[in-house]
Amino acid sequence: MNPQILRPKNTVMLMIDVQEKLLPAIYGKESVELNAKKLIKASQAMEIPLKVTEQYPKGLGTTVPGLAEEISPDDVFEKKAFGCFDEEGFDDFFRCTRRNQVVLFGIESHICVHTTAMQLLERDFEVTVVADGCGSRENGNHEIALRNMSACGVHVLPIESVVYQLIKVSGTPEFKQLLPLFK
């Protein structure tokens, strides 16, 4: 695996399917939602584009309210495919950012997150999955998915590693803005 240093100007964040009818069934759902909110705040503070998917919102609901209020409707992509790139139009929706590093988080780890991570690798993106920003209904499935993604070349890190790597230096306005989220 090649070393990868996340750089804000090269990074796009992709939040997968943190939706009203999916989240309640997720093991550790409170942590997943809290860390998703922190990552959204980090993307805003560092001006990192954020893209969001919703799996069949007609049946599974939209992004949970606590997160939906933080994102632009223009950055939300509805899908039915488990792998984002299997959905017609997603490639154009996503590539418009012109960034080659992807920070991926959401649900479920072993289905949509895993499949999308593999698709991103196939397309030569550098992929980082936020381990504590993802979840599955069963924690065992989450753990297996993280191990498999890591073995395939995805960088799997906790949220603090990801955010602090992007911030780079203490004392900056971004650091001061985000520090309260991690105390």
pLDDT, residue 177, reads: 86
- Asked whether residue 2 is assigned to any structural domain, the reply reads no
The mean pLDDT of the chain is: 95
Closest listed residue to residue 109, CA positions, set 22, 49, 12: 22
Peptide bond into 108 cis (omega under 30): yes
Q: How many independent structural domains does the chain possess?
A: 1
Share of the chain above pLDDT 70, in %: 98
Residue type, 28: G
pLDDT digits 0-9 by tens, 131-166: 999 999 999 999 999 999 999 999 999 999 999 999
Domain, as residue range, for 159: 8-135+146-182
Distance between CA atoms of residues 124 and 111, nearest Å: 20
Q: Is residue 89 part of a domain?
A: yes
Q: Report if residue 1 sits inside a domain.
A: no
Predicted confidence (pLDDT) at residue 110 exceeds the cutoff of 80: yes
pLDDT at position 22, please? 96
Per-residue pLDDT at 2 = 65
Q: How much is the pLDDT for 64?
A: 97
Q: What is the C-alpha to C-alpha distance for residues 154 and 24, in angstroms, rounded to an integer?
A: 27
Task: Round to whole Å and give the CA distance between 158 and 45.
Answer: 19
Q: Taking the CB of residue 90, how many other CB atoms lie within 10 A of it?
A: 20
Q: Is residue 141 part of a domain?
A: no
Residue 15 resides in a domain: yes
Task: Find the mean pLDDT for residues 6-17.
Answer: 97
The CATH number of the domain where 124 resides is what? 3.40.50.850
